[in-house]
A and B are shown apart, each in its own frame.
Chain A
Amino acid sequence: MSKLLGKISCPKREFLLASTSTLGAVGAAAAAWPFIDSINPAADVLAVSSTEVDLSSIAVGEGLGVLWRGKPVFIKHRTAEEIKQAQDEDSVEMIDPQTDADRVQKTEWLVVIGICTHLGCLPSGHLPGDKKGEFGGWFCPCHGSQYDTSGRIRSGPAPLNLEIPPYAFKDDTTLIIGDAEA
C-alpha cells in the first residue's frame, strides 16, 4: 500500500486522501456504536431496577438474601452486640477504612451486595449456622476473605468492603433496594 501512497506527490491529493480517510474512520466508528451498545443491558433489563423486601419476617440476628438486578443482596438484622462490635472497631486499622455509621441508614439493618470484592464469590454468613469467619460477619470460601459485622473487609485478598446498594425504607417494615423513586 505504501507503494501507492508513494506515487502521490501533490499536496491537494494528500489533503483529500487524509480528509477522506479521517471522515471515513469517524463514520465507521459511529456506525460501530449501535452494535457495541446493543449488547449492553436492554431497557427491559434496566426496568427491573428495584426490589421490595418485607422486613417483618427477619428476626434479630437473622439475615436474608434477595436478588436485585440478578445480584445477591444480604439484609442482616443485626444484634446489639454486632452493632456495638461494628462501631467499636471503627478506629481499628483496616484494609478499606470506613465507619459503621457511613455504611448503614438504621443501625439494626445492614444491607450489602453479597459479592466478594475479590473475585466475585458469594461469602457465607447471613444464614444461621453459616461460617462467619473471625470477625463475625462473612467468610468467603473461595480465597478466605473475612468481613466484619459491618461488611468491611478485615483480612484476606479482597481489596474493598462489601458494596452498599442504593436502598430506602418505605416504611418501618418495607425496604426498597434500587431506584428509590421506582
Chain B
Amino acid sequence: MKKDNNTSRLMTWIDDRLPIFSYANKNVIDYPTPKNLNYWWNFGSIAGIILVIMIITGIFLAMNYQPHTDVAFQSVERIMRDVNYGWLLRYLHMNGASMFFIVIYIHMFRGMYFGSYKNPREILWIMGVAIYVTMMATAFMGYVLPWGQMSFWGATVITNLFTTIPLVGDYLVTWIWGGFTIDSPTINRFFVWHYLMPAIIVGIVIVHLWALHVTKSNNPLGIDIKSKKDTIPFHPYYTIKDLFGFGVFLIIFLYFVFFQPNFFAEADNYIPANPMVTPPHIVPEWYFLPFYAILRAIPDKLGGVIAMGGGVMILFILPWLDTSKVRSARYRPIFKVMFWVFVADVLFLGWLGIRPSEGIYLTWGRIATFYYFFHFLVLLPALGKYEKCYPVPDDISEEFLKDHCGDTDDTDGKEEKTNA
C-alpha cells in the first residue's frame, strides 16, 4: 500500500509537534523484542486487554447499579433480568475478575521462573506487585457491591482484620465503615473506590510498561540482548502472537461466561445480605484463598494478620531475596525443582483455604505456611550462594539457531526463500 502524500505530510506535521507516530513506531512497531519469547510472555498483553474489558463492562454496569443497602441487591438482579444484555455485562465482569487473577498469577509465576525480577528489572517487578495489591483491593470492594450474604460477611471479616492494629484498630474500622457496621455509607464509598482504583491500576500499568521498555523484555534464557540479531521487531511478530494468544484466552473466558457463568461464584451470594445471619461457610473468592489459609494457620489474631500481609508484601523484596546472578530456572537445577515445589505449596494453601480449619488441616496449613516463608527467606538466599548452575549461553541468536534450525545458516535468508 502506498502512502498518500497528503496523509504523510499531515503525519509529519503532527509528529513534529506531538511525536505520537514516532513514539508508536519506537514502542510497538519497530520495538526490538527478544526473538525467543515463548507463550508465557503472552500473559502481560492478555492482562492488559482484560483490564480494558473490566473497565468497560464496569462502566456499563455502573449505569444501572445502585450503592445503597436498600436497593443494591435488587439493582443487581434488575441488571440480570431487565437491563438489555445486563446478564452478559455482569457475567463478563464477574468471570473477567477470576480470569484476570488466573492470568496475573501465571504472569507472576512466569516472572519467578525466568528470574524476570532480577537486575535490572526490580522496579518493573515492584510496579507489578503494586498492581497486584491494588487489584486485590479492587476485587474485594467489588465483591461487596452486589450486597449478598457473602458480600456482607466477607466484607465484615476482612475489614475486621484492621481491629488487630493496637490502639487505633477499632477507630480505624469505624472510620472505614462510616458507621458501626457495614452499611450504606460503606457500600457507597466502596463503590466509589471500586470505580476509581482501576484508573489507578491503569496508571501503574503505564509505569510498568515504561520500565519494561527501558530494560526490554527478559527471555527464556534469562540473558541480555547483545545485538540486533537477538531481536525481532514487535510488529508484526509479537502483535500477531499476542492476538493469537488472546483469541485462545477469549475461547476459555467466554466458555465460562456462556456455559458456566457461576462456576467461580458462591451460591450464598444470591441471598440478600442479612446482618442477623452468618452463613455456615464463609469463604473468600478463590484468588485470596492461599493468603486466607496463612491467616488461619496462625493461632493469634495479630500474628495471623501480619503473616497474611507479609505473605503478599514479601513479593516486593523478592529481587533482593533471590541472590543468584543466573536469571532463568533453565540453568538452575535446584531452583527449578524448588520453584515447582513452591507452586505446589501455594496451590495446596489455596486448597486448604476452603477446608475447615481444624485437626489435620490445621497442621498441614501450618506446614504449608512455614514452607511459603521458608522458600523466600531461607531457600532463595541460600541457593544464590550454594547452587551449582549450568553454563549460561552468551548469545540469544546462537542458542536460538541451535534450537530451531540445527545448523547455523542465516535464518533471515532461509525464511525469505521458503516464503517466496
Interface positions of A (Cβ within 8 A of B): 1-6, 8, 10, 33-35, 37-40, 42-45
Contacts and interface: CB of A to CB of B under 8 A. Distances in A.
B1 A39 contact: no
A34 B29 contact: no
B325 interface: no
Given A2-B1, A6-B1, A42 B86 contact: yes
A38 B85 contact: yes
Q: Does more than half of chain B's interface fall in helix, strand or loop, or is it mixed?
A: helix
B268 to A, nearest CB: 26
A93 to B, nearest CB: 45
A76 B349 CA distance: 73
A5 B78 contact: no
Contacts, number: 52
Given A42-B64, A42-B78, A42-B83, A35 B1 contact: no
B235 interface: yes
Given A6-B1, A35-B56, A42 B84 contact: yes
Given A1-B29, A2-B1, A4-B29, A38 B84 contact: yes
Nearest to A14: B1
A37 B64 CA distance: 13
A5 B1 contact: yes
Given A34-B84, A34-B85, A34-B88, A2 B3 contact: yes
Q: How large is the interface on B (under 10, 10 to 19, 20 to 34, 35 or more residues)?
A: 20 to 34
B3 A38 contact: no
B236 interface: yes
A37 B85 contact: yes
Contact of B60 (A6, A35, A44): A35
| Residue of B24, B63, B84, B85 most packed against chain A (CB within 10 A) | B84
A168 B131 CA distance: 60
Contacts of B63: 38-39
Rank and list the top 8 A-B pairs by shortest CB-CB distance, nearest first.
Answer: A34-B85, A43-B82, A44-B82, A42-B82, A37-B84, A42-B83, A5-B1, A2-B3
22 contacts: A1-B24, A2-B7, A2-B8, A4-B29, A4-B235, A4-B236, A6-B1, A6-B2, A10-B419, A34-B85, A34-B89, A35-B56, A38-B60, A38-B64, A38-B83, A38-B85, A38-B86, A39-B60, A43-B82, A43-B83, A43-B84, A44-B78
Contacts of A37: 84-85
Nearest to B83: A42
Given A1-B24, A8-B1, A37-B84, 14 more contacts: A2-B1, A2-B3, A2-B8, A4-B236, A5-B1, A10-B419, A33-B85, A35-B56, A35-B85, A35-B89, A37-B85, A38-B60, A42-B64, A42-B82
